[in-house]
């Protein structure tokens, strides 16, 4: 979190608010008898106005709040912003929750926020209040042309959202389609392995290393490109793919940046940090590139097909051929912008979460050499060096699957999931949750809760072996919900559960991995960089050594 910027702007807002409040108070004093107000003021005149304004503000909030969940004391105007410190928000909120409880109220400026930090409260939310808390808190960066209706992630709960969700679960992430596309996943992962081999051959010294995250991103981007457009989009000669990567990355960075316009609505028209303007600029650029692919496909369909080429129907075909009832859902996606939003969202969500998870998995393994040796031994004893790793092999690799789970426990891609919002007032565990309240589920804190996990800060994949192999990330084990639960759970989990172990297994089966000369496991940088997703602050640089006789992965 960019603490200095937030604090500086918050102080400015406080000064403006105090000046405006003084004007309002003077107006009030002129309209009412001075003696009626003076009885509430302390003797010292310099502090009288500030204390009275604080009293009035607190009294008004208490009337509105009812029995809100407990939380730290707040300051007028800025709320609890000054108490968050310089740590990333998920860490700051976890520290506050240890003092104030697993369901806690924070005021981020004027934004009322309830933070959930335990599996018990998460269970209560998703089991008993899933519908009323299924709304979305839309930040300023995501408003405008990108915004709500075309987006599955940010659309408000209702008929339009249900239609988008149904398309994803029955067309894009359905088991039959995923089974039919297993050769695409193998192709993209083999491409990543080949890219890494080529890069390894060009390393000049043992002090150099490759940026592993960049190669993982190439794989994830091409995988989504094949599922959406039936083609690779990123290679050394692909200018459009590289530009899409840049603009989509900027959108993810800006959308995860603390925005004063969200905390103080009076600043929305100013957009003081330029976040909304910059986000819209990069969204438009990404839309232009996605639009080129869509126009090419639409022209092909209007000309009678695909030039005689037989291929599996991809998700863009599904979108363009969609026909609805025209009542609760559109009769068709007539707006190219709506299609652009869906395509853009698939790419950004699919690539960023995959890249961050696999980069963290490799980081943790290199930081724990014994664990790295153990998972490689499992792979190489199960699959010979002359055979390809196949998806069907994953079921026989319990330790590899445990490594993936342990990585997601410690490093969930979205530490707060996507923010929920109360669509109406409700009672949860005896607490009043007002309509419009932002709900943050701190899955980062839940995954490190010492009441649930033994040695919660240690990387121990063994915790997911027998008798706990059934514990998974599909939304029913509330101590472990990196992709959420309930209606707003990430719909891509069926794809993720196939890609992550196959990609990580291929990296570990195809290469031995060493750190650049002079860097030891205990000296590795393990700090986190907060955006929408939880990435490493410092990209992982590592030296791959091809394992003799490997041939990649297969369908």
Separation CA 437–CA 420 (nearest Å): 8
Annotated binding site for heme: 490
Separation CA 464–CA 470 (nearest Å): 8
Separation CA 419–CA 338 (nearest Å): 22
Separation CA 105–CA 119 (nearest Å): 17
Separation CA 229–CA 307 (nearest Å): 15
CA angle 83, 84, 89 (to 5 degrees): 165
Quick one: tokens of 344?
Answer: 């853009």
CA angle 540, 92, 259 (to 5 degrees): 85
What is the dihedral angle through the alpha carbons of 525, 531, 532, 535, rounded to the nearest 10 degrees?
A: -20
Quick one: tokens of 187?
Answer: 């192709």
CB 129 within 8 Å of CB 459: no
For the chain, how are helix, strand and coil distributed in percent, rounded to 5? 55, 10, 35
Quick one: tokens of 7?
Answer: 């604090």
CB 219 within 8 Å of CB 503: yes
Mutual orientation of helices 398-410 and 369-382 as an angle, nearest 10°? 150
Helix (H, G, I), strand (E, B) or coil at 535: strand
Helix (H, G, I), strand (E, B) or coil at 8: helix
Q: Which of 22, 138, 7 is nearest to 75 (CA)?
A: 7
The alpha-helical segments, DSSP class H, found in 111-181 are: 119-128, 159-167, 175-180
The alpha-helical segments, DSSP class H, found in 368-438 are: 369-382, 398-410
Annotated binding site: 490
What is the dihedral angle through the alpha carbons of 486, 492, 495, 500, rounded to the nearest 10 degrees?
A: -90
């Amino acid at each position: 979190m960019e603490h200095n910027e937030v604090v500086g702007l918050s102080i400015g807002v406080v000064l403006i608010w105090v000046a405006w409040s003084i004007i309002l108070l003077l107006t009030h004093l002129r309209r009412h008898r001075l003696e009626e107000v003076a009885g509430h003021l302390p003797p010292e005149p310099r502090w009288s106005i500030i204390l009275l304004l604080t009293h009035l503000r607190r009294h008004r909030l208490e009337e509105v709040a009812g029995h809100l969940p407990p939380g730290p004391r707040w300051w007028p105007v800025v709320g609890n912003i000054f108490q968050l410190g310089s740590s990333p928000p998920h860490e700051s909120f976890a520290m506050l929750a240890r003092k104030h409880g697993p369901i806690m109220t924070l005021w981020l400026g004027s934004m009322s926020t309830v933070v959930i930090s335990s599996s018990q409260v998460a269970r209560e939310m998703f089991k008993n209040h899933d519908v009323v808390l299924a709304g979305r808190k839309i930040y300023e960066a995501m408003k405008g042309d990108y915004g709500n209706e075309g987006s599955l992630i940010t659309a408000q709960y209702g008929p339009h959202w249900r239609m988008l969700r149904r398309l994803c679960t029955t067309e894009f992430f359905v088991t039959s389609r995923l089974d039919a596309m297993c050769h695409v996943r193998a192709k993209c992962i083999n491409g990543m392995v080949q890219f890494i081999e080529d890069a390894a051959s060009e390393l000049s010294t043992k002090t150099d290393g490759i940026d592993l995250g960049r190669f993982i991103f190439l794989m994830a981007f091409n995988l989504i490109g094949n599922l959406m457009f039936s083609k690779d989009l990123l290679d050394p000669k692909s200018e459009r793919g590289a530009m899409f990567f840049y603009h989509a990355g900027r959108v993810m960075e800006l959308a995860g940046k603390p925005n004063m316009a969200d905390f103080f609505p009076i600043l929305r028209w100013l957009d003081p940090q330029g976040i909304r303007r910059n986000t819209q600029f990069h969204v438009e650029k990404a839309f232009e590139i996605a639009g080129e692919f869509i126009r090419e496909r639409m022209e092909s369909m209007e000309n009678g097909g695909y030039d005689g080429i037989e291929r599996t129907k991809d998700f863009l075909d599904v979108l363009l051929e969609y026909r609805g009832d025209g009542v609760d859902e559109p009769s068709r996606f007539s707006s190219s912008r709506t299609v652009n939003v869906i395509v853009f969202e698939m790419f950004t969500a699919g690539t960023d979460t995959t890249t961050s998870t696999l980069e963290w998995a490799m980081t943790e393994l290199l930081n724990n050499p014994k664990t790295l040796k153990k998972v490689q031994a499992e792979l190489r004893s199960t699959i010979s060096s002359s055979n390809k790793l196949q998806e069907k092999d994953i079921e026989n690799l319990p330790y590899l699957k445990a490594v993936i789970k342990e990585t997601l426990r410690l490093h969930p891609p979205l530490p707060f999931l996507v923010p929920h919002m109360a669509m109406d007032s409700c009672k949860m565990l005896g607490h009043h949750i007002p309509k419009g309240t932002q709900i943050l589920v701190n899955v980062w804190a839940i995954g490190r809760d010492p009441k649930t996990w033994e040695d919660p800060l240690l990387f121990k994949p063994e915790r997911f072996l027998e008798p706990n192999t059934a514990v998974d990330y599909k939304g029913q084990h509330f101590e472990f919900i990196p992709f959420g639960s309930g209606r707003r759970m990430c719909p891509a989990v069926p794809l993720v559960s196939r890609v992550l172990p196959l990609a990580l297994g291929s990296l570990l089966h195809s290469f031995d991995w060493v750190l650049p000369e002079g860097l030891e496991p205990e000296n590795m940088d393990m700090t986190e960089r907060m955006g929408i997703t939880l990435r490493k602050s410092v990209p992982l640089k590592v030296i791959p050594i091809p394992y003799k006789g490997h041939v990649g992965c297969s369908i």
